[in-house]
Amino acid sequence: MSRAETSRRGSRPGRAGIRDVAAAAGVSITTVSDALNGKGRLPDATRRHVREVADRLGYRPSAAARTLRTGKSGLIGLTVTTYGDEPFTFTEFAYFAEMARAATSAALARGYALVILPATSRHDVWSNVALDGTVVVDPSDHDPVVSELVRQGLPVVSDGRPAGSLPVTAWVDNDHEAAVLGILDHLADAGARRIGLLTGTTTDTYTHLSTTAYLRWCERVGQDPVYEAYPAHDPCAGAVAADRLLARPDRPDAVYGLFDPNGTDLLAAARRYGLRVPEDLLLVCCSESTVYASTEPPITTLSLKPRRIGTAVIQVLIDAIEGLHSDQPVEQVIPTELIVRTSSQRRPPRTTVSPPRSPEGE
């Protein structure tokens, strides 16, 4: 029965199927499949011949059919808990962008592609895409999507240790407690007497762990906690909270801001109150943005190394997908990096400013 060539006339004229290749090469579809996938036992001559014919016909195997047959789609879901309507979160934006970039790159290197999906539980979208696994960034306590995916037997790896009893397959995170303690010690070493904190009102683990570490440090060294909390998803609220923190009667002489925009917010607030940085106020914030290298003055930042996290998350997830999870632990901790700049050093290395060369005094 030669229905291959004839009955396919109704399909896309530009797309050739495996049967067309088989007919053109004078072999069976089994041979074509084996030749192209490197399976079976075929002489090199046949293999080369089939590949040549396939190339000539512009044959591309149907991803849908392959997925249906093999059960593997090569797709990995990427989702971020969102605080608003947008699919991405606002606050950790530079972090997420870097992390997503590294994750995309790492996945691509192993033959997988990333699908951006909403954290909301929209069944119609989630169930319409065949996933091999999912990356969840900063999952909330009882994320219904995560539970559903795990229930379906899909591996789920989270960026950020899961809160509560979220049944993720594995997670990758920083040691936020150690990072905060390191910063506070760094500020104290630079001469800070009263260190304030700009934190969030959200209940995610990052905010929680960092704030707890701050409070414990304060207790240890005998300092009264000085902090302001604000809803981290509101960009304006950060500026207001920074202003409030510096307007307090017990004004801190050093501040650590947990979120990316806090550096500029605090800098602007300091200017308003006539505080010089770092002479009157030491500043550190957690950020991946490069703008803090060229602010006036440059601001010391804590990098959570999103590139490394994104890469690690993907490696762990794909290992789980391919059944290579072996004996390594399913919990991975990535070290943070403190990028020390002028804003946290009481004695800044006076940079010599080159004199302005004015060619024609204006």
Return d(Cα 183, Cα 284) in angstroms, integer.
8
Q: Does 39 bind a copy of itself (CB under 8 A)?
A: no
Q: How far is the CB of 231 from a copy of itself (least distance, A)?
A: 17
Residue 17 interface partner, choices DNA, a copy of itself, none, CB cut-off 5-8 Å depending on type: DNA
CB of 54 to DNA, least distance (A): 10
The answer to whether the CB of 123 falls within 8 A of the CB of 149 is no
| Six token digits for residue 125 | 């979208």
357 binds, among DNA, a copy of itself, none (CB under 5 to 8 A by kind): a copy of itself
Whether 211 and 182 have beta carbons less than 8 Å apart is answered as no
Q: Footprint of a copy of itself on residues 80-139 (CB under 8 A)?
A: 85-88, 93, 97, 100-101, 104-105, 108, 111-118, 122-125, 127-130
Q: Which residue has the tokens 């302001």?
A: 228
Is residue 198 within 8 A of residue 246, CB to CB? The reply is no
Instruction: Check binding of 36 to DNA (CB under 7 A).
Output: yes
Q: Collapse the DSSP code of 304 into the 3-class scheme (helix H, G, I; strand E, B; otherwise coil) and give the result.
A: coil
Q: Assess 290 for contact with a copy of itself (CB under 8 A).
A: yes
Among residues 5, 48, 52, 65, which is the contact residue for DNA, using CB under 7 A? 65
The answer to whether residue 24 forms part of the interface with DNA (CB under 7 A) is: no
For residue 78, give the nearest of 100, 105, 50 by alpha carbon: 100
151 near a copy of itself, judged by CB under 8 A: yes
Contact of 233 with 202, CB cutoff 8 Å: yes
* Closest alpha carbon to 34 in 10, 54, 11, 12: 54
Given 5, 28, 56, 116, the residue binding DNA (CB under 7 A): 28
**46 scored as a contact of DNA (CB under 7 A):** yes
Helix (H, G, I), strand (E, B) or coil at 301: strand
CB of 360 to a copy of itself, least distance (A): 9
CA atoms of 21 and 18, how far apart (whole Å): 5
Using CB under 7 A as the binding rule, whether residue 51 contacts DNA is answered as no
Residues 6+ positions from 4 with CB-CB distance below 8 Å:
17, 19, 20, 22, 23
Residue 53 C-beta: closest distance to a copy of itself, Å: 17
The residue range among 36-44, 170-178, 327-335, 340-348 that interacts with DNA, by the rule CB under 7 A, is: 36-44
**Considering the rule CB under 8 A, would residue 349 count as an interface residue with a copy of itself?**
no
Q: List the one residue from 253, 257, 283, 285 that touches a copy of itself (CB under 8 A).
A: 253
